[in-house]
Amino acid sequence: MMDEREYLSAPGWYKKQGPENDVVLSSRIRFARNLAGYLFPGKCILKDEQQIEDEIISAFLSLDKGKDFTQIQIETLSPVDRQMLFEKKLISRDFSGKRNKTVLVRKDNSASCMINEQDHLRFSSFTGGLDLKSLFTEGKEIVDHLEHTLNFAVSLEFGYLNSLVRNSGTGMKASVMLHLPFLVRTSLLDRAIKSSVTEGFSVKGFMGDDEGSLGSIYQISNELSLGLSEEEYISRLYTITAALSEYERKAREQFHKSKSMEMEDIFYRSYGLLKNSRLLSLTEAVKNLADFRIGIIMGWSDLPLEQVNALLILIQKAHIQHIMGDENETDSKNIDYVRSELAKTYLKLLQ
């Protein structure tokens, strides 16, 4: 088993501080581009995919910021290492299972560029809290510099052409991850979403939970990239995020006024389970870490909020298998035991 302290100290976007982090867990900006003269991935032949890859890698690594990225061939990774990249949101689930694919990953695990996924190039960057503008500025600078070397497929009528029509136009997708526990507990979430989330934006639950969302965590993003400028999409997402954040803070304040003992119980139960459990499933871990955040926000614990947020990534299955040093370990009880020990070690280290 690897040293947990070394593992927990590794860099990642999910450990970064950021504005509005009592509600906003993280921000992401993604740019999708395709090269002119080639079919979209899945349609073009392997030889063309290799040519596309060579052109993109050459252009990317020639950038000043290219030296901060590592080139990774997916098929050279173990299944666990592939899954870890997916759990960190640096590659898609589909991409993790493909052969002859390459991804460029920033050394601090805060950005990646998938090559020949749904589009020839998908550059994504992440940070903690609400900071879409900084991510946009950096991402736009990178793809604009790439365009000096690469001939992107673009149309005067439809903008940047992508494999999915809804992603054409700006080719940009912006998203935020929000923690909305008191809108959920007060049954006001649907009303808040209807009054805040405008047409062209969507709401998804965390980890694809069918009953609402695991941990009351939701992703808000633009569904379309056509019709508005990149700045307008980002501005609208800021407006939506500000509205939902205000609703959540008001619901939190009201809950505390009317049910203060119940609110404290939510926090202390989560703390007790995280600190004392012997077996901790992924569902239990996410739910109780989300509840534990409430106590930090209310000032009942002085643990760093962004470090607790990081556990939402680090407790996932592939990360636990990596700690165990056994990629063939699939026994759920063993994985749940190591997950519980990781949570205890992490919380202790932060005290």
Domain 13-254, CATH number (from 3.40.50.720, 3.30.70.270, 3.30.590.10, 3.40.50.2300): 3.30.590.10
pLDDT for 6 = 60
pLDDT at 210: 45
- For the whole model, what pTM was predicted? 0.92
Report the alpha-carbon distance of residue 39 to residue 268 in Å, rounded. 56
- Quote the CA–CA distance of 205 and 182 in Å, as a whole number: 15
233/137 Cα distance (integer angstroms): 14
pLDDT for the residue numbered 209: 46
What pLDDT shows up at residue 211? Answer: 52
Q: Report the alpha-carbon distance of residue 326 to residue 192 in Å, rounded.
A: 45
Task: Specify the DSSP element, H or E, that contains 191.
Answer: helix 189-196
What distance separates the 2 farthest-apart alpha carbons in the chain?
A: 65
Predicted confidence at residue 199, as pLDDT, reads 83
Confirm if 343 and 285 have CB atoms less than 8 A apart: yes
Parallel/antiparallel/unpaired status of strands 217-222 and 102-106: unpaired
How do the domains of the chain map onto residue ranges? Answer: 13-254, 259-350
- List average pLDDT for each run of 10 residues in the chain, which is 351 residues long: 63 91 97 96 91 96 94 94 95 91 96 97 97 97 96 94 92 97 95 90 76 85 93 96 97 95 94 92 95 94 88 93 81 93 77 51
